[in-house]
């Protein structure tokens, strides 16, 4: 029985390594077209926000993907201050920059962070919007759920449109 378990474990390890080496694990970025009515809108978050600022080490360790947008690399992800402060317990070397509560952001675009076949089995795809603040700093903001407008209306002063109306 012990021999069968050992063979099964070795086979499982071999399969995982084989699949991982063939592009079945990991993630990729898929840029998406954003509703033209949303692009260029100026928003303000209802709650105090902070930038999570990633470098090469923290990005690799915690799964942040550097995305290129208009020939600039996005190194910041927006999160609310409470969540950012809580992260310090788990990610002590992550740089956090608190930002002004009244900071304006312009919506520039969106992308999906998608898992490859095996990764997708364990983690969902995540949609982000790309924002530019008043200091021309680019950041990403994770969308909760499937609808960008719902997330924007819940967490910002964005006023949505319905059925093509503006």
101 located within any domain? yes
Question: Which of the residue ranges 39-53, 91-105, 146-160 has the most confident prediction, judged by mean pLDDT?
Answer: 39-53
pLDDT (tens digit per residue) in 34-71: 788 899 999 999 999 999 998 888 787 777 778 888 88
10 located within any domain? no
Structural domain that includes position 63: 26-155
Number of domains composing the chain: 1
pLDDT (tens digit per residue) in 117-136: 555 555 667 889 999 999 99
Has residue 27 got a pLDDT over 90? no
> What Cα–Cα distance (Å) separates residue 51 from each residue in 24, 34, 122?
31, 23, 27
CB neighbour list of residue 102: distance below 8 Å, 6 or more residues apart? 44
Is residue 115 very low, low, confident or very high in pLDDT (cuts 50, 70, 90)?
confident
13 located within any domain? no
């Amino acid at each position: 029985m012990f021999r069968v378990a050992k063979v099964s474990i070795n086979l499982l390890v071999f399969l995982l390594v084989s699949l991982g080496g063939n592009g079945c694990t990991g993630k990729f970025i898929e840029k998406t077209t954003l509703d033209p009515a949303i692009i260029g809108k100026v928003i303000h978050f209802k709650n105090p926000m902070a930038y999570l600022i990633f470098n090469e080490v923290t990005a690799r360790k915690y799964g942040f993907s550097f995305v290129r947008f208009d020939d600039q690399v996005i190194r910041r992800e927006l999160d609310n201050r409470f969540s950012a402060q809580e992260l310090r317990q788990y990610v002590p070397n992550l740089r956090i920059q608190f930002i002004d509560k009244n900071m304006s952001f312009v919506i520039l675009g969106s992308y999906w962070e998608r898992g490859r076949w095996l990764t997708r089995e364990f983690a969902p795809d995540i949609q982000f919007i790309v924002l530019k603040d008043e200091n021309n700093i680019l950041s990403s903001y994770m969308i909760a759920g499937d609808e960008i407008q719902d997330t924007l209306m819940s967490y910002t002063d964005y006023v949505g449109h319905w059925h093509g109306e503006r």
